[in-house]
Chain A
Amino acid sequence: MSVLVYINNHGGNIHKNAFEAVAYGKAIADQTGTELYAALIGPADNAGDLGAYGALKVYHNNDGSFSNFDPSAITNALADIVAECSADIIVCSHDFSSKSIAPRLSARLKAGLVTGAVGLPNTQGSFSVTKAVYSGKAFAEIEILTDKKIICLLPNSIEFEKGEGSAEVIISSSSASSSGIQVKEIKKESTRLSLTEAELVVSAGRGLKGPENWGMIEKLAEKLGAATACSRPVADIDWRPHHEHVGQTGTVIRPNLYIAIGISGAIQHLAGVNGSKVIVVINTDPEAPFFKAADYGIIGDAFEVVPKLLDSAPTL
């Protein structure tokens, strides 16, 4: 019996979401009286650091062919590690990588899967996990009925800190068996931060009147170290790229701070952002529905308010 955290990395340092998943896995291991291991697929500079968040051992599979992100090949490698450490609870961060891998592993192991978990499982009697549903408009307590269980944690869901210690790194060598996916090109987005990972997000909508007016939004985001986002209409008319669209049919985010500028707050938009810890709304219309979901509001013209905010914003 053990808890195993799956991490996919593409070189460089391991991302914050992965450390969060490790800290979450460690809490489950403590809860169930077992040990925590990590399965790391792909190159990473700081595999041993996973120990500082609670992993006892890291099974690192760094076969060069994993740089081709091939879900069925990674599932094979991960299933080998699951067997090797007799894991019965597998944890990952609910990011692009686990969205590809966790369902395959679930079907492979016949393990009940909960994605988008927002807190620790309840292990008294039955085993259940609370997850966000209806795009953040509600939560559901899902019981996992199988012996093997897989949980994908919604990023930015738990508080965690780096502790002491370094994990023992074991090289895992099952080789990649390609299913025929060939990577031709990797396009980095212009935004420096991925939206689901960002702690601070500055977002704007039709109130900005045109794509040429986004300069002040980008400057504000840069000063705060925030990611930029937008509402659906603005992405649909190509003022902003599709990947910036947050909302029910775009990306669902839950940063610590969401600043919405010139967005009225349609129910579909709110569904994508109402997991944010603090919401600031800036809008000319005092009746804008977004103010009902806001913690702080400024009723005013974005073109007057934002430059003032930009001047006084702390550099983070």
Chain B
Amino acid sequence: MSPEQIVHMKGIRKIYPDGTIALRGVDFSVKEGEIHGLLGENGAGKTTLMNILYGLIPPTSGEIYLRGEKVEINSPREAMEMGIGMVHQHFMLIPTFSALDNIILGREPLSGPLTIDRRSARKEIEALMEETGLKVDLDALVENLPVGIQQRIEILKMLYKKAEILILDEPTAVLTPIEVRELFSFLRKMKESGKTIIFITHKLKEVKAIADRVTVLRRGEVIGVRDAKDVEIPELARMMVGRDIKMKIEKRPPSLGEEVLIVKDLWVKDDRGRDAVRGLSFSVRAGEIFGIAGVEGNGQSELVEAICGLRKVDRGSVILCGVDATSMNPIKLYSLGLGHIPEDRHKWGIILDFSVEENSIVGVHRNKKFLNSIGLMKGGEICKWADNIVKSFNVEVLSLKTPARSLSGGNQQKLIVGRELSKNPRVVIASQPTRGLDVAATEYIRDLLLRMRDEGRAILLVSADLDEVMSLSDRMAVMYEGRFTGIVDPEKVSEEQVGMMMGGISIGGSYEH
């Protein structure tokens, strides 16, 4: 091990209690004073690896060396004492505190037994700001500051605590292009002053722009380490998404019908008011599965919510079965022929304290067949309906009266899928339909989606699981920062092309029917 290696993680394995293998023996090392990119798609293990280095989670096995010395890091506090600081994707600031107070939190200089010496702290931080160029108004309250500035405060906080090794988890995800440029210039300055920076990202161009070296992770394994200036983007793309064995699913060629879902120049804002979907246009035909892949957080959730009437459409339109369905109430959408399998079952899909029966009618609870002449709900009809879903979709339940909370994740999902498909939809929007499910349930739901396609329904499949999208879809698009970087035939596209699209590089031409 060369002495210039400031961090060396050796044979790191992480198996979560539920059996998920996040890291399969990773060797990772960083040289002193470099900017090291850590590249990979969702679930590759980037953040897990860095959380281990930062002491947030313990590895199942493996060793960590700092400057050649073996160490054990049991908490972020210990990591901090060893000079390791991490800025997470979600900031950990106190909104009602000033920037100054946030920065000194955890290492407050005292001027007396009960008083904080803010003056000396301010001097120290001002010197830091001078050195790195990270300028912040120290007296402003954090809640009034834009995200870009909050990020600077997070970085200053780490530097103030004498971090020598700085880990940044997807730091550009929340920034505007100008803020990204500024961040990069700070990072270069910090590098000049001798700091070591680990930069987690899935954006290929960023690696080339800022990193000295890059380690590519895929499914918990290191695929390779390269010098950023020598490696070409297509090679990085291939390394990031390269397939081990392509999942092979037998499917008939699609028999295409009319366009039942048309999205025209759609603009949607996220919760913070930024454009999450930027002028998307596409259509889905009856009898096909149109897949949308991409790293999460590139606007997929907002797109689905907007189509399904759960988020306001900013501009543009959605046409469902020939009717303008832009920002329509979900109940009306369901009656027009929409079925929606939502991405987060506990947030959207199911009411945990409702019984299986009550959950089976969400969205159709005002349907006439469930009501008698004076407007009371017909228990018998609802029971029959629920029983039919449970039987046809193999939902394992003790009784229809048991709360949904007592069902396993797979059975909850089958209940939701069953409910949506029982609405006899012409268009099914399936968002992360197999997330967190075991192999059997996953297979069941994928088969079901294919069966729905063969029955002539249109399916829009949105998933962060690239294998899933590639093996099920008839056409696939890759979403990046609210736009499609391409629409391709999953049978013909190369890994390299998919990787480039996921990393934000458009490939020429779009694949239509």
A and B physically associate: no
